[in-house]
Amino acid sequence: MKCSRLFALIFTCSVMLSITSCKDFSNKVLGKGNLKDTITEQLKVEEKIPHLLDRWDSLQKNQILFTVDSLHPISVRQQKRELKDSLRKAFDRHPKHIYLTFDDGPLIGSAFIDSIAKEKNIKVSVFLIGKHANMSKGRKRDLARYESNHLVACYNHSYTHANNQYSRFYNNPQKAFADFEKNETDLNLKHKIVRLPGRNIWIYDNVRKIDLKNGASTADLLHKNGYTIYGWDVEWRLNSVTGAPIQSQESTLSHIRNYMNNKSSMVPNNVVFLMHDDMFQTKKGQQELSLLIDALKSEGYQFEFMQDYPIKY
């Protein structure tokens, strides 16, 4: 009887030690979580890698090798077209991102931009001119509205806007750089994000796109000193005399749709949309912007800040 009890005790202890040892082994090999947790974390990491964008960029840069099968010949041109179409469809399964950007404020239309961001509950990005902010008490109030609105992100568009003499401004990169630095200091800007006056230049990550060489040296100097430079994909042009929008909101919406659907923006599924504050100083301009925002919302566009550009898939 005593022997059987002793045998039972030894067996129980052996089982408990085995369980403990297995648990310790699992923790050492897999970490404190279990195997399911480890696989889940790995999948999350893989989801963050922008596979679609990498494939799209490789196609655009002709870095993908296509071969023609002699038994079932399909031309390289057709293969490229089919791959491009399949990538477009894959992008279409992801959200559409729009960046509403307003240049040259604070100006008369700035108060409306601030209020419509609140009314529609959308994010907007404003590229500010320090000289305009110091023109009057009214413009300072507009700046203060922007700064206190969590739906408005403020960025750098230079202090003087080159006094609208762009070639002369960019011919002296050091002086132009100092102009942006002054704007950052005077307006207490939090983000080192810039849009160059009169130039559609992009320098971010591994991207460098220059429209006019005259501004390239200034852009490179800014980037070397920690600034990110963004241009735009679609512009809603304004009448330089009246400040009113030139195109209708229907025409502008169609333009945005084309860039989104054809994936012809700088980054697929991301459209950077340029406007100017003084376009919205009249009731007509304000109504047009309101209608455009409603249309974009109804089509499922998500409104983003430029500091979050680009959102990759």
Average pLDDT over residues 58-62: 94
Instruction: Pick one of 3.40.50.300, 3.40.50.2300, 3.20.20.370, 3.50.50.60 as the CATH number of 96-308.
Output: 3.20.20.370
Please give the helix or strand (H or E) that residue 272 lies within, else none: strand 270-276
Instruction: List, for residues 213-249, the tens digit of each pLDDT value.
Output: 999 999 999 999 999 999 999 999 988 788 788 999 9
| Confidence at residue 240, expressed as pLDDT on a 0 to 100 scale | 76
Crossing angle for the helix pair 216-224 and 173-187, nearest 10 degrees?
50
Instruction: List, for residues 35-45, the tens digit of each pLDDT value.
Output: 445 444 544 44
Maximal CA-CA distance, the chain = 108
Q: For the whole prediction, is pTM greater than 0.75?
A: yes
In whole angstroms, what separates CA 65 from the centre of its chain? Answer: 30
Instruction: List, for residues 285-297, the tens digit of each pLDDT value.
Output: 999 999 999 999 9
| Confidence at residue 121, expressed as pLDDT on a 0 to 100 scale | 98
Domain ranges in the chain?
A: 34-93, 96-308
Which one has a higher pLDDT value, 213 or 21?
Answer: 213
| Confidence at residue 41, expressed as pLDDT on a 0 to 100 scale | 52
Please give the helix or strand (H or E) that residue 185 lies within, else none: helix 173-187
The answer to whether the CB of 231 falls within 8 A of the CB of 209 is yes
Instruction: List, for residues 84-98, the tens digit of each pLDDT value.
Output: 999 999 999 999 999
The answer to whether the CB of 223 falls within 8 A of the CB of 203 is yes
| Confidence at residue 3, expressed as pLDDT on a 0 to 100 scale | 46
Which is nearest to 266 in space by CA: 302, 303, 216, 231?
Answer: 231
- In degrees and rounded to multiples of 5, residue 276 shows phi and psi of -130, 145
Instruction: List, for residues 181-206, the tens digit of each pLDDT value.
Output: 999 999 999 999 999 999 999 999 99
Query: Hey, is 130 helix, strand or coil?
Result: helix
Residue with tokens 């983003």: 304
| Confidence at residue 239, expressed as pLDDT on a 0 to 100 scale | 86
Instruction: List, for residues 133-179, the tens digit of each pLDDT value.
Output: 999 999 999 999 999 999 999 999 999 999 999 999 999 999 999 99
Mean pLDDT over each residue of the chain, to the nearest integer? 88
Distance CA 41, CA 262 (A): 34
